[in-house]
Structure 1
Amino acid sequence: MSAKQIKPSYGLLAILMTGAFVALLSNTLLNVALPSIMNEFDVSPATVQWLSTGYMLVNGILIPTTAFLISKYTARRLFLIAMGLFTIGTLISGFAPSFSILLVGRMVQASGAALIMPLLMNVLYTSFPPEKRGSAMGMFGIVMIFAPAIGPTLSGWVIQHYNWSVLFFMMAPLMVLVWVLGFFKLHDKKESSNAKIDALSVALSALSFGGILYGFSSAGNHGWSAPSVYFTIIVGVLSLAWLILRQFKLDEPMLDFRVYRYPMFALSSAISITLNMAMFSAMLLMPIYLQNIRGISAMDSGLMMLPGALIMGIMMPITGKIFDKYGPKILAYVGLTIVVITTFLFGQLTDSTEYIHLVVIYSVRMFGISMVMMPIMTNGLNQIPPALIPHGTAMNSTIQQVSGAIGASLLVTIMSNRTSVHAENMLAEAMAKLTTTPTGEALVELQQHITMEATISGINDSFLVSTGIAVVAFILSIFIKRTTFPKPLETK
């Protein structure tokens, strides 16, 4: 990619952001619908989870190739292909007569979604000068956070009143409209390129990121001792090492790891990884607590997250402007302090914690995250030269996928293990206090009560681990330095 600054095209940005918003919203809509799909097609929880796991795997495999594709092709061409694939996948899913066809549709969706987010981030970044990139990335943050946050609420309402297929059908017309707008309105130009992608790098990328994502995603269901878990993780790590070594030997690497020669980009990646892992705690554990323990509906669970989403949507552009003026350090300190405190407070749940109390804590937590995520990412990208921007954006998208999978599996595993430990201890204590061994309904009631209390304790333990992860992010933020202009590209 040329180092020359692109003149901002707000029509282009609006179309790209709308496409990204639709793609992210459509993805998050499905999570609440998984139980309904499981019942209709008579599949197990482990099988239906492939609708999410498979989607994430395809994303993780394809996203590393986006740096090469962005450098070679125009934004118009990539956007039309991406939205076309996503729309086709959506229609296949909506009309799916069987679970296998639905899974195919989701895979096609994922192949389009993998292109959209890195493409949008790259266009946003290269369209604005360094002093305005915070505001530009703040707009991107609205898309990245707001769509997933309102998805569960909207999905809960649809599932209560209609069939799950409506989730796909209601998005399809908007996707077609966005594709048509892109076809007629996008006219960016790029110098022709004869670059060819390295087939071995693509294969290694699939093995490395696919293996790591699959291994960690499967740990929650099968446990860490299962061969399907540790073997795929080992294959993924070894393939990743080979992939990195190969990229340094290529004249035109598929994913240029030289971006990590720039210390602020490397630091921003480390902070993003830890923050992303910590962020998944509330997204995963709160629905379990609200629906399984408290008996709150899926829609009300989604509504709990809505105020936080609105706050993030409002704050993203504001924190972007603050970043442009003052830099990332003060935002990181304040934001991560809020994240640490609110995550710790989430680790104090009981069977009678008030709903409004949870809404307030979650909203304040999202306020803190809004002050950190995009400013940190933007500060890192500001240090790398324009020629490496596509690789930096692809790297950011990749680590979000991988860290999300690792964080999710780690926290769910901790919750499950600690729940079992607490249940054993509570049962032993209860039996020691009783003069007679309970039977029948009394035994069932005792077991149900212990299961509920043990699960709450397991969730609290997982939140406390998440608090520790957030503390690591805060410690890393101490070393942040403001970067304004990218340095010249270093030679090999």
Structure 2
Amino acid sequence: MAALLVAGFVGLFSETALNIALGELIHIFEVDATTIQWLATGYFLTLGILVPVTGILMQKFTTRQMFLASLFFSIIGTIVAAVAPAFSVLLTARVIQAAGLAIILPLTQNVIFTIFPPHKRGGAMGIMGLVILAGPAFGPTLAGMILDTLSWHFIFWFTIPFLLFSLIFGYIFIPNVNEIRSVSIDFLSVVLSTIGFGGVVYGVSAGGDLGWANTTVMGTIIVGMLALIFFALRQTKMENPMLNLKAFKYPLFVLGLVMNMITFFNMLSMLVVLPMYMQMALIVSAFATGLIMLPGSLLNCVFAPIIGRLFDKYGPRAIITPGTALVAIGYGLYAMYGTETALWIVAATHIVMMLGIGMVLASVQTNTLNALPRQFYPDGIAITQTSQQVSGAIGIAVMISLFSAKQSSYLADVANDLPAAAATGSSLVFKISLLLAIVNVVLSLFLKKPAAH
């Protein structure tokens, strides 16, 4: 578990760590803001495309083979990124890094659900939840500290010792835990899945920059949607589908999936919009922004394993419903903040928010997958992981374009006051997140402990 979790942490850390250096990289590589954003978008795009394929690869190859392939991609991608002389090389390295993460995340979840009995899974998933939250949350803070003292290359060099530890530990200790089946990979399904998820993520990500009415944006989203429909229809007709959609026959699985998607849509967009609010409306440096967000992230790490054990003891509703309520309170408070808000209030609200997300995230995932029979775990994991990455990417793109549009209209119509405009933009985003968070509170009331399969 240590080998898997460290590798997962590094991958998720890398997902957000570079975001804080994007401004600097624009000048270094002499590219514009839209182009530099591809360092983040390309990462999501690769995850969205590869995670569904991982579901079938986990049934075809041993746990060890999958783990070593993941570490190989992660280490090669990280080294190439650290020495990248040009933007194109750095972007390629990011895609290779993301390929490693696309394997390790579903693999870790599959190992947990295979080696832990149902009454202990909450605790194990609590620790995985810590990794899922701490990686992206610590990314900007640590990267800000590195950037203040060293160059951006060290954001990548910093992670190499952890990846090597994971590789050595995993090589020694990871046995094969999954059943190998002679599954054939259906080429057409892979193509449809790639065009489908890739088209939607690319279209939505580009929509934030090019505008939603742009023909390329509309075209790629429509083509992506059609490919996903054909992909789903093909899976239902096949004897051995690439992704078994029978998981959708279980109502608790579907309910958990929707809650999970809302949580990721809200959480990943908050991790981008909140620093923008602090830096533009409150005029705080990148490093100070990271420090303000640190207490919430640290507390989350402390509470994640405890929340997991409480979930095992008291069941889903006792943990998830209060968690969704805390998240809604957090967004309600964020939506009221302006340019004069004290930094300690922002930090306190972030603590409330992260505690709520910590209570929701791993617990919803555990309950969602517990609703399935064992043979559907690889498919259920592939479906939940893909939907997380896709909804996260959509959340970032949609919320940033709403933030920018509101900010621009304020500057044009009300006053030429950038901090006030940024505060108005972020307030709109947080109001929309609040509405989605309230939907999650209502959905959580329908959760229950799945019957044993």
Per the shorter chain, which TM-score range? over 0.9
In structure 2, the partner of 1:489 is none
Q: How does 1:66-145 map to 2 (within 5 A)?
A: 66-145=54-133
The worse-fitting range, judged by mean Cα deviation, of 464-473 and 282-291 is 282-291
Which structure has the bigger radius of gyration? 1
When normalised by structure 2's length, the TM-score is: 0.97
In structure 1, the partner of 2:174 is 186
Alignment: residue pair count: 453
In structure 2, the partner of 1:474 is 441
CA contact (8 A) 1:350 1:456 kept: yes
CA deviation after TM superposition for structure 1 residue 177, in Å = 2.8
In structure 2, the partner of 1:205 is 193
Q: Which of 428, 433, 437 is equivalent to 1:461? A: 428
CA deviation after TM superposition for structure 1 residue 410, in Å = 2.0
In structure 1, the partner of 2:283 is 295
In structure 2, the partner of 1:363 is 351
Q: Which of 145, 152, 172 is equivalent to 2:160? A: 172
In structure 2, the partner of 1:149 is 137
The worse-fitting range, judged by mean Cα deviation, of 387-396 and 324-333 is 324-333
CA deviation after TM superposition for structure 1 residue 191, in Å = 5.3
Equivalent-residue separation in structure 2 for 1:261 and 1:36 (angstroms)? 48
When normalised by structure 1's length, the TM-score is: 0.89
Instruction: Report the RMSD for the aligned CA atoms in angstroms.
Output: 1.4
Q: Which amino acid aligns with 1:109?
A: Q
CA deviation after TM superposition for structure 1 residue 424, in Å = 3.8
CA deviation after TM superposition for structure 1 residue 147, in Å = 1.7
Equivalent-residue separation in structure 2 for 1:28 and 1:413 (angstroms)? 19
Q: Which amino acid aligns with 2:445?
A: I
Q: How does 1:246-265 map to 2 (within 5 A)?
A: 246-265=234-253
Equivalent-residue separation in structure 2 for 1:31 and 1:277 (angstroms)? 17
Equivalent-residue separation in structure 2 for 1:192 and 1:150 (angstroms)? 36
CA contact (8 A) 1:379 1:484 kept: no
Q: Aligned with 1:195: secondary structure?
A: coil
Q: Deviations over 1:285-338 (max 9, x none)?
A: 111111123221111111111111111112211111111111111222211111
CA contact (8 A) 1:62 1:111 kept: yes
CA deviation after TM superposition for structure 1 residue 28, in Å = 2.3
Equivalent-residue separation in structure 2 for 1:65 and 1:117 (angstroms)? 13
Equivalent-residue separation in structure 1 for 2:179 and 2:397 (angstroms)? 43
In structure 1, the partner of 2:24 is 36
Q: Aligned with 1:254: secondary structure?
A: coil
CA contact (8 A) 1:15 1:178 kept: yes
CA shift in 2, pair 1:223/1:111, >3 Å: same
4+ aligned runs moved over 6 Å, structure 1: none
In structure 2, the partner of 1:218 is 206
Equivalent-residue separation in structure 2 for 1:382 and 1:34 (angstroms)? 40
In structure 2, the partner of 1:434 is none
Structure 1 unaligned spans of 5+:
1-12, 428-446, 487-492
Q: Deviations over 1:259-305 (max 9, x none)?
A: 11100000000111112222234312111111123221111111111
Q: Percent identity?
A: 38
Equivalent-residue separation in structure 1 for 2:105 and 2:435 (angstroms)? 29
Structure 2 unaligned spans of 5+:
none
Equivalent-residue separation in structure 1 for 2:144 and 2:177 (angstroms)? 42
CA contact (8 A) 2:59 2:180 kept: no
Say if 2:390 is the partner of 1:407: no
In structure 2, the partner of 1:338 is 326
In structure 1, the partner of 2:342 is 354
Q: Which amino acid aligns with 2:148?
A: Q
